[in-house]
Structure 1
Amino acid sequence: MVKIGTHDGTFHCDEALACFLLKRLPEYQDAEIVRTRDLEKLKACDIVVDVGAVFDPATHRYDHHQREFQETMTTLSGGKYRWSTRLSSAGLVYYHFGKAIIAAILPDASAEQIDTLFSKMYGGFVEEIDAVDNGVSQYEEGSPKYHIGSTVSTRVGRINPSWKETDTDMMPRFERAMALVGGEFVEVLKSYYESWLPARDVVKEALETRFEVDPSGEIIKLPIWCPWKSHLYDLEAEMGTEEKPINIKYALYVDSHNAWRVLCASITPGSFVCRKALPEAWRGLRDADLEAKSGIAGATFVHASGFTGGNKTYEGALAMAKAGLEA
């Protein structure tokens, strides 16, 4: 029987995910998981993760605890991937088998889609597990303003016996941990595939037709609302050039009430700071007051922070965006 080796005792999120991922592959789907630190038993395993003090893809040994181990997605790929977080066993397994795993979970995905999802899943899911396992802080200095106790690593950790429990049968608990983190991996992957990935085509088309919306090329019109910001920055970099960069300020789309919205692009994906907020004089105003102040018919509101506004018509929303550019 094929065997996957990992360490015994207290388990962590990284090896639980590594084992779950391996068992998505045909060659390991029926593998026995051997939890031990006995080197002789580990030698008999076909693949070993998170134990053994050896990183050697040629012999399928994927430990990261060695003093000299400093591998990241960037170093292993020769700079192809941008992530510089030190890898855990989850990241190592993902780097070497991730595309095949995604193909196994999403058999209808194309090679191009798998490449895109491979990067998205690392940055959106696996890197967090690598960072937590290696003790990498999210902050350069100072303390976080609040504690987050619901991360997948924290939840996996709670499956281990508490200090007051005497339960020594760890395999059922490890299987629960695998199911928890693995279930989240699959859920996130399918969400990216079914929702996030199709939005890329919508945003790309909006960028290609931006000059039809406004000669500035800084306003896009979305035919339907979608998670556009998560694609905007990558597509701007891919489609723009140093001589002709793309720098979108506003997106126009129809909201759930069949009215038009103006939404500002932020300076970076995770920032609340807008590249170009709507005019300060409009902020916090509504309806007749806003129409009078802006001189734009149909204006319904502008948020107090200026990051979004609304209008009853497309023409009105476009006029608001154009005025925002000129402000």
Structure 2
Amino acid sequence: MSITHLVTHSGGFHADELLSSVLLTRLFPKAQLLRSREPAWVSPAPAKIIYDVGGAYDSAAQIFDHHQRPGPMRPDGAPFSSFGLIWAHYGRAYLTAMDVPENDLDEIHGKFDEKFVLPIDLLDNGAIEPSVAGPLSALSLPSLLGSLKPVFDDMSPSADDDAFFAALPIARSFVEAQIRGLAAKARARSIVARAIAETAEATILELPMGMPYRSELDKAGADHILFVIHPRGEDWTLNGIKLSGDTFEQRADLPASWAGLSDSALEQASGVEGAKFCHNARFIAVASTREAIVKMAEIAVNEQK
């Protein structure tokens, strides 16, 4: 039997059922999304998926609540929210609907769960303090979505529903952007790995375009590579490589004499015709041709000796 209704609770909303709705409305676009606490609606039936309401977790009956005691837990003991439950059961189907290649499904499903779903599960269940959640991007999303709730003195009987349905496309944009980013990293992996192999022992990695590369450098143990070059529009860029995602420190900086210079001033300082720009923090430089950017990269490497 096809799904005709997606049912979550009425009243104020949280990130978990809003993000669950993002997944389910893509998978079941013809189903009616209904917000209710009426017993008739939150009781399981073959044509309904019920989530974040109903007092039970039973995937066979298509009911995914987490507020009952004991609530559903992950294998490691972390609590699920409705988003985690929906992702566990429908996430792979959602990724397929997002055109993620089959070979990448398991990896992207796991990464999205770890980086995006789990933090929301923990915060929704009070298993992590808001003070810890605030600085972290994956955990600030519930606060951002919560800011879309109606103000306290909006007495319109439809205020909560209106705000929920207005927030839904905004939440969708965050989820889809995350998935597209993970899928892009998966596509980039083989390109970067091939470029690393072709680079051999050289210190400059050339890529055909801008793409994620640092994790593949770490995986390959290519610590000898100091800079990355690639075309960007009509120009070429020279990039430093961060030591990790938690710091701005690089394996090697661009020359201090280039910092903050552009055009003729940078050409004079570098001795490279076609040099166009170097960031003051010395992590990126731009030139008008490949020949120019290669010369700049070679100069930057020689300064490390």
Q: Same fold (TM over 0.5)?
A: yes
Structure 1 residue corresponding to 2:20, chosen from 18, 37, 59: 18
Distance verdict in 2 for CA 1:55–1:275, change over 3 Å = farther
Matched, 1:324 2:305: no
User: Partner of 1:51 in structure 2?
Assistant: 53
Give, as a single letter, the amino acid of the residue that structure 2 aligns with 1:91: G
1:222, CA displacement in angstroms? 1.6
Question: TM-score w.r.t. structure 2 length?
Answer: 0.73
CA contact (8 A) 2:43 2:54 kept: no
User: Partner of 1:110 in structure 2?
Assistant: 101
Give, as a single letter, the amino acid of the residue that structure 1 aligns with 2:42: L
Cα deviation digits, residues 129-161 of structure 1 (max 9, x gap): 4465346458659x86xx99xx65445434543
* Residues in 2 aligned to 1:91 and 1:2: alpha-carbon distance in whole angstroms: 22
User: Partner of 1:82 in structure 2?
Assistant: none
1:90, CA displacement in angstroms? 1.5
1:18, CA displacement in angstroms? 1.0
User: Partner of 1:177 in structure 2?
Assistant: 167
After superposition, residues 104-183 of structure 1 pair within 5 angstroms as: 104-106=97-99, 109-119=100-110, 121-122=112-113, 126=117, 129-130=120-121, 133-134=124-125, 136=128, 153-154=142-143, 156-169=145-158, 170-183=160-173
Distance verdict in 2 for CA 1:30–1:75, change over 3 Å = same
Give, as a single letter, the amino acid of the residue that structure 1 aligns with 2:293: A
User: Which of 88-97 and 126-135 deviates more?
Assistant: 126-135
1:100, CA displacement in angstroms? 0.4
Give, as a single letter, the amino acid of the residue that structure 2 aligns with 1:162: V
Question: TM-score w.r.t. structure 1 length?
Answer: 0.69
Matched, 1:236 2:238: no
Matched, 1:254 2:231: yes
Q: Tell me, which stretches of 5 or more residues in structure 1 are unaligned?
A: 77-84
* Residues in 2 aligned to 1:34 and 1:201: alpha-carbon distance in whole angstroms: 44
Structure 1 residue corresponding to 2:91, chosen from 98, 119, 122: 98
SS in 1 for 2:42: helix
* Residues in 1 aligned to 2:169 and 2:287: alpha-carbon distance in whole angstroms: 47
SS in 1 for 2:249: coil
Give the length in aligned residue pairs. 294
CA RMSD between the two structures:
4.1
Moved over 6 A (4+): none
1:290, CA displacement in angstroms? 5.3
User: Partner of 1:89 in structure 2?
Assistant: 82
